[in-house]
Amino acid sequence: MSTIFHVGIDLGTSRTSIATSTGKRLTTRTCVGYAKDVIAQKRFGKPFLLGDTALDNRLALNMVWPLAEGVICEDEKALEATSLILQNIIDEALPEKKAGDQIYAAIGVPAQASITNKKAIIDTTRSVLSKVLIVSEPFSVAYSIDRFDECLIIDIGAGTTDLCRMHGAMPEAEDQTTLKVGGNFLDQQITQAILARYPDVQLSAQIIRRIKEKYGYVSEKSDPIVVTLTEKGIPKEYEITDILRECCLQLTDPISQAMQQLVGSFDPDFQARLRQNIIVAGGGSRLKGIDIALEKSLSPYGGGEAICVQDAEYCGAIGALKMCLEMPPEYWEQL
Ligand SMILES: Nc1ncnc2c1ncn2[C@@H]1O[C@H](COP(=O)(O)OP(=O)(O)OP(=O)(O)O)[C@@H](O)[C@H]1O
Ligand SMILES: [Mg+2]
């Protein structure tokens, strides 16, 4: 007898996460590393590695990050890589799956992903899935915490920040904004700022990400932040307290402005309720002081209240899974 499995997938620029109807949760980096040469291929015993394993062995691999600014790049390589990543995470999450079983998936994509992009996702999943539902990322966050009343979801990802006003029904175009800034943009800002102050230090994408995730903040004050970096291999301590705050503000300032715009253009009878219900999700919600910084930027509007979701890593996937289990048939794309 064939079984139907339901899965919710959050296909992100930096991470892809899955939640299944069998209770599994998995997350992986959204990247594929192709062996650089025959030696690399011999060492790994296969032509490519995926996710964290690829990242750990990246010196011998050509890395492909198929999503940029939250959407799949529209070239062959990126499509192939996306398909490999999705196929692999589904296989790992559903080891009990047999030939003939069916998988229904809801996949979260940025609020303003283009039609071509949605089509690209549907095409890449054709071989793996029986039915697919493409859902807007911030909407799946709202779904995961059962918030359909007036609230404003702010999903700060790696490639984009998606803002979405909820008001009980399906959000429309004017309820959503996608900003092309997120964690990756912040990484670039931090890299430039550190090099401007300390031109000879050696940096890599991983070093910057670790510094940001551990020390990044937008609160008014911070203890001094001193990190150990190398200069021609010699380790030394570098002070980056102010640099880090200034960079983080370059991410949060445009988010505050987009939030103000969505509040200011909402039905005036409901603006207060919207301001009091700001929900911050995505990896960027872990930035220290982000909730209070957003609240402060609403003080000219009468103040606000922002909370960060508990489970930033999985709430997109969990919301997508819930939708997958609840959506009536007419919303589905049959493959
Ligand atoms: N503690 C932290 N402080 C600041 N940023 C963080 C922290 N933890 C994770 N991040 C950043 O959050 C980003 C990843 O967030 P998330 O997993 O929501 O993105 P994504 O869903 O892959 O991207 P997108 O939604 O743009 O496609 C990365 O840039 C990561 O470095
Ligand atoms: Mg995301």
pLDDT at 260: 97
Q: Indicate if 98 and 211 belong to the same structural domain.
A: no
Q: How many domains does the chain have?
A: 2
Tell me if 18 sits within 8 A of 98, measured CB to CB.
no
Residue 216 sits at the vertex; the CA angle it makes with 295 and 283, to the nearest 5 degrees, is: 75
Distance (angstroms) between ligand 1 centre and the Cα of 214 equals: 12
pLDDT (tens digit per residue) in 242-264: 999 999 999 999 999 999 999 99
Cβ within 8 Å of residue 300, ≥6 positions away: none
**Residue 24 falls inside a structural domain:** yes
Of 119-123, 208-212, 221-225, least confident by mean pLDDT is 119-123
pLDDT (tens digit per residue) in 264-282: 999 999 999 999 999 999 9
**Residue 49 falls inside a structural domain:** no
Q: Indicate if 118 and 90 belong to the same structural domain.
A: yes
When the pLDDT of each residue in the chain is averaged and rounded to a whole number, the result is 93
pLDDT at 334: 65
pLDDT at 301 over 90: yes
Which DSSP string corresponds to 47-94? SEEEHHHHHHTGGGEEEE--EETTEE-SSHHHHHHHHHHHHHHHHHH-
**Residue 43 falls inside a structural domain:** no
Q: Indicate if 304 and 194 belong to the same structural domain.
A: yes
Q: Indicate if 153 and 298 belong to the same structural domain.
A: yes
Alpha-carbon span 188 to 171, nearest angstrom: 32
Q: Is residue 287 within 6 Å of ligand 1 at its C-beta? A: yes
Of 3-17, 43-57, 108-122, 168-182, least confident by mean pLDDT is 108-122
Q: Is residue 70 within 6 Å of ligand 1 at its C-beta? A: yes
Q: Indicate if 254 and 118 belong to the same structural domain.
A: no
**Between 34 and 128, the higher pLDDT residue:** 34
Q: How many angstroms from the chain centroid is the CA of residue 117?
A: 16
Distance (angstroms) between ligand 1 centre and the Cα of 39 equals: 34
**Residue 37 falls inside a structural domain:** no
Q: 265: which 2 tokens?
A: 């253009």
- Domain membership of residue 131 as a residue range: 4-30+65-142+314-334
**Residue 54 falls inside a structural domain:** no
